[in-house]
Amino acid sequence: MNVTKKDLSAILKKELKLSVDTSDSLVDEFFQVIKTTLRSKKNIKLSGFGTFEMFKTKERIGRNPKTMEEFQIPAKNKVRFSSTSKAKYFLN
């Protein structure tokens, strides 16, 4: 089962007894802050949960398995999530 932004908003609404608009705004703002922070190449550490960090992949050569033709794969920025030991404990 996947949890969507809409599900998160509904949980906030129910648990904190917020209006729909307020809970939607909180969820949207939370994800906007994460996006903005990652774009500025800073890590995000959520205590007791984990860390989101940016890393850059190297440029490399790929190959089409059908034609065996080689092509260049450009370098990219990606996000890595590392969970804390507390998060690993409550998952297992």
Q: What is the pTM of this model?
A: 0.73
Residue pLDDT, tens place only, 27-75:
999 999 999 999 998 999 999 899 999 999 999 999 999 999 999 999 9
What's the pLDDT band for 14 if we cut at 50, 70, 90? very high
Longest dimension (CA), the chain: 58
Q: What is the pLDDT of residue 41?
A: 87
List the chain domain ranges: 1-40, 42-92
CATH fold for domain 42-92 = HU Protein; Chain A (4.10.520)
The sheet with strand 44-46 has its strands ordered as 44-46, 50-56, 77-83
